[in-house]
Structure 1
Amino acid sequence: MSGADRHRTLHSTEVDAPAEVVYGIVSDVTRWPEFFAPNVHVEHLERTAASERIQIWATANSEVKTWISRREFDAEQLKVGFRQEVSQPPVASMGGEWVVTAIDARRSRLDLHHDFTVVEDAPEGLAWINSALDTNSAAELAGIKRIAEQHTELDQLMFSFDDTLHVAADGADVFEFLNRADLWPERVPHVARLDLTEDVPGVQVMAMDTRTADGSTHTTESIRVVFGSDRIVYKQTTVPALMTAHTGRWTIEAAGDGVDVTSRHTVIIKPSAIERILGEGKTVADARAYIHHALSTNSTTTLKFARDFAEARRG
């Protein structure tokens, strides 16, 4: 085989939702980390009405990979084409197309095409890519199907909120506190355990045990992407039972005599778990309030310890 050999795959699903709804989910990458299990973060590099250039961080065969892609939109034909500009081995090149086809007014078919070449046409590279495509494509299609079929409820199930604290100190010291999450068990009382690895600079994989008010602990697993010294984004890859997705970010902005530090959370509630977790008769509104309170309490506590750490250094 030569390096020019191109391989092709097709993954498909049927969705009980109108084709336009499905296309809207495919075309809006800003919500992919919440919708698709493998996607950790998407960063826009360029954007026009007809195309965009993005950098994606995602898991593939339990590894965190990042690549840059250009996407072209055809809203009339309900198609989105994509091509990686910068790939990571064993991928030499990768592209494809999302195609949405209406079955009737309320059902549609979604096809995900990939074409790719393998570095040096290595058989083990081909096997790795096929495995990753099978796993990730199935997860992405399942995510689109789930979200599209809940589209009438999504405004209630998905929500975001911020907690902001002013810190009269240097942003670099706040960033050090947030970035060195491996030290949180020593610095943050509600963190019982935290294992962190950073095999690639700026990409952190962590598992954390958090103590709750009743003395119990719950475990979450996350991937964090660090941008410069003023922003850290993350996605929980293992989430509490009441959620289907949880992403967040820490941002540091100059303000007055110091910085404003903000913790943002974005959550999608799992409706089928509400009564099992919160009790009979509890609603989506109850779940929103419960999750908001729990996450806000923990993030605000962390912000306060970051403030104390940074202000002590300035003092």
Structure 2
Amino acid sequence: MTAPDAVLHLERETVVHAAPNAVRRLVADVSWWPLLFSATVHVEVLERRTGTDRLRIWAFDENAHRAGRPAVRTWTTTRRLLPDTGTAIVFAQDAPQAPLAAMGGEWRFEPREDGGCRLVLAHHARVSEGTLADHPWIAAMVTRTADAQLAAVKAAAELGRGLDEAVVTAGRAARFRGRAAEAAEALADADRWPLLLPQLAGLRVGAAGPHAWLLERSGRPFAVCVAPVVGRLVVKQLAVSRSCTALTGEWTVRPATDLAGSEPVEEVLVTLRRRGLTAARGAARRRLLTALTRDTARLVRQRETAGV
């Protein structure tokens, strides 16, 4: 039997001036998480069945980085999306890391008379050894994370249709001769990045966890890269400009074989897609989009020139 003082139950909440079903859709769509949640680097959908998702999440842990531990944590979680729009999205980690024996919770979207939503983020956790008093950082971490996520969802949901305008996207692709397997290997070779992309020459690249790297500039975290699968590299920039509150990108390489006469020509298609969140509007947003598009094209040209 688990001792009561080894179990954590914690609920945090906020009022969102948006309809519950709109708030629920936002939380349910994991493609938003890296833009909304500052610690979330990437979310990969591993399995999707009716009403149930299994996800792998990568997150940047600034406290671990400061303590000299691997700065990127990753775990898998299973969540259930209950059919009633006012009910919870329930989640639980599949294999929590010690000292946690269990970690899960739920999002609740409770309607208010004014048409808004009482948004609740509840967590439960259980430690495998000792009591919660032996691990005070657990409650502090859960509280800090929950408050930040609630605030982010509230801010995004209350933009309403303006949320789409707050997103800027850019993409570019290039083809070159070569083998896709070799290009994919180069994509995940962090030691080669400064050679392939000159603007990274001043950055320090270090391992930050399994298939994860941290880029630092002048001793400060600049970006996190993770390789979910061979041939893909996801980047989340931690240091962004004033006009851009979040910036993510994804490199992909895949074979693109054409026929030139009777001789097959093996080619590689390299693609970079980037997505940012901004508070800029009007002319300022257009300038940001232009700069992002120009920079994306330059990055792809440099990859193309390097041949990987």
**Partner residue in 2 for 1:45:** 46
**Alignment partner of 1:142 out of 147, 151, 164:** 151
AA aligned to 1:171 is A
C-alpha separation in 2, matches of 1:46 and 1:120 = 32
Tell me what 1:291 maps to.
Answer: 288
39-48 or 180-189, larger mean C-alpha shift: 180-189
**Corresponding letter in the other structure for 2:255:** A
In structure 1, distance between residues paired with 2:121 and 2:236: 24
Q: How many Å apart are 1:16 and its aligned residue?
A: 1.7
Q: Does 1:69 align with 2:70?
A: no
Determine the C-alpha separation between the residues in 1 that align with 2:253 and 2:75: 26
User: Which residue is 2:103 aligned to?
Assistant: 94
Q: 1:275 corresponds to which residue?
A: none
| Cα distance in structure 2, aligned partners of 1:297 and 1:121 | 55
Pairs within 5 Å for 1:39-188: 39-60=40-61, 61-62=63-64, 63-76=71-84, 77-121=86-130, 126-188=135-197
Corresponding residue for residue 263 of structure 2 = none
Q: Distance in 1 between matches of 2:181 and 2:247?
A: 26
- Alpha-carbon spacing, 1:309–1:288, altered in 2? closer, same or farther (3 Å): same
Cα distance in structure 2, aligned partners of 1:29 and 1:186: 33
Residue 301 of structure 2 is matched in structure 1 by 304
State the distance in 2 between where 1:190 and 1:95 align. 41
Please, which moves more after superposition, 245-254 or 192-201? 192-201
> Structure 1, residues 83-116: CA drift from partner, whole Å, max 9, x if none?
1112223322111111111122432211111111
Cα offset for 1:251? Answer: 0.2
C-alpha contact 1:161 1:264 (8 A) present in aligned 2: yes
Q: Count residues in correspondence.
A: 290
Secondary structure of 2:26 counterpart: helix
State the distance in 1 between where 2:284 and 2:186 align: 31
Say yes or no: does 1:224 pair with 2:225. Answer: yes
Structure-1 separation of matches of 2:295 and 2:186 = 15
1:183-202 correspondence runs (5 A): 183-191=192-200, 193-202=202-211
Could you say which residue in structure 2 is the equivalent of 1:233? 234
**Percent identity of paired positions between Structure 1 and Structure 2:** 29
- In the TM superposition, residue 307 of structure 1 has moved relative to its aligned partner by 2.3
- Given residue 106 of structure 2, which amino acid in structure 1 is its aligned partner? E
> Does the 8 Å CA contact 1:72/1:82 hold for their aligned counterparts?
yes
Q: CA deviation at 1:182?
A: 4.9
What displacement does 1:65 show?
1.5
Tell me, what secondary structure is at the counterpart of 1:262? strand
Gaps of 5+ in 1: 210-218, 272-283
Describe the shift of the 1:22–1:235 C-alpha distance in structure 2 as closer, same or farther (beyond 3 A).
same
Letter in 2 for 1:57: W
CA deviation vs aligned residue, 1:40-99 (integer Å, no higher than 9, x gap): 111111213312111111234444221111111224233111111122233221111111
**Distance in 1 separating the partners of 2:92 and 2:19:** 26
Superposed CA deviations along residues 3-24 of structure 1, whole A, max 9, x for unmatched, are: 7832111111111212222111
The normalised TM-score by structure 2 is 0.84
Change (3 A) 1:310 1:124: farther
Q: Judging changes above 3 Å, is the alpha-carbon distance between structure 1 residues 184 and 74 closer, same or farther for their aligned structure 2 residues? A: closer
Q: Secondary structure at the match of 2:106?
A: strand
1:262-273 to 2 correspondences below 5 Å: 262-271=271-280
Q: Distance between the aligned counterparts of 2:294 and 2:216, measured in 1?
A: 19
Q: What is the distance in 2 between the residues matched to 1:193 and 1:183?
A: 13
Equivalent position SS for 2:160: coil
Cα distance in 2 for partners of 1:85, 1:36 equals 21
RMSD of equivalent CA atoms: 2.5
Aligned mates of 1:175, 1:33 — CA distance in 2? 23
Q: CA deviation at 1:149?
A: 0.8
Give the Cα separation in 1 of the matches to 2:190 and 2:174: 19
Q: CA deviation at 1:37?
A: 1.4
2:8 match: 7
